[in-house]
């Protein structure tokens, strides 16, 4: 099983700042099958990025994904108030599909 470790666990930033979230895999992951999701309290997750760097439909361009192999990054260029949420990485190229434990992005 591929273990995904996200860092930091919690990130405290202010609106307008840049956020960088990390996800490290225990073994190499196909970037074609790597995604990021956002989840707000009481809501289902929402797909942000798939294929490591492709934005999902309707996702603002302040969200960008990058990385390959074992190290992946989600960057939010300028934080908006609605961006404060929990973010999960996911690999879906190897069975079982696995998620990271999440990074909580909170308002400083």
Partner 1 sequence: QVQLVQSGAEVKKPGASVKVSCKASGYTFTTYYIHWVRQAPGQGLEWMAFINPSDGGTHYAQKLQGRVTVTRDTSTTTVYMELSSLRSEDTAVYYCARAGTNQALDIWGQGTMITVSS
* Cβ within 8 Å of residue 25, ≥6 positions away: 2, 3, 4, 5, 69, 70, 71, 72, 91
* Site stretch for partner 1 (CB under 8 A), options 19-27, 65-73, 74-82, 99-107: 99-107
Q: In whole angstroms, what is the distance from residue 27 CA to residue 30 CA? A: 10
Q: In whole angstroms, what is the distance from residue 43 CA to residue 34 CA? A: 22
Per rule CB under 8 A, count of chain residues that contact partner 1: 24
CB of 55 to partner 1, least distance (A): 11
Question: Interface with partner 1 includes 88 (CB under 8 A)?
Answer: yes
Question: Interface with partner 1 includes 90 (CB under 8 A)?
Answer: yes
On whether the CB atoms of residues 91 and 25 are closer than 8 A, the answer is yes
Question: Interface with partner 1 includes 92 (CB under 8 A)?
Answer: yes
Query: Which CB sits closer to partner 1, 53 or 73?
Result: 53
Residue ranges binding partner 1 (CB under 8 A)? 32-33, 35, 37, 44-47, 50-51, 54, 56-57, 88, 90, 92, 95-102
């Amino acid at each position: 099983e591929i273990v995904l470790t996200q860092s930091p666990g919690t990130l405290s930033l202010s609106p307008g700042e840049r956020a960088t979230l990390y996800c490290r895999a225990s073994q190499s992951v196909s970037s074609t099958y790597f995604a990021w999701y956002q989840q707000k309290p009481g809501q289902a997750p929402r797909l942000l990025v798939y294929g490591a760097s492709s934005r999902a439909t309707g996702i603002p361009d302040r969200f960008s994904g990058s990385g390959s192999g074992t190290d992946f990054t989600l960057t939010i260029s300028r934080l908006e108030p609605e961006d404060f949420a929990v973010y999960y990485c996911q690999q879906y190229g190897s069975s079982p599909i696995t998620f990271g434990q999440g990074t909580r992005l909170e308002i400083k």
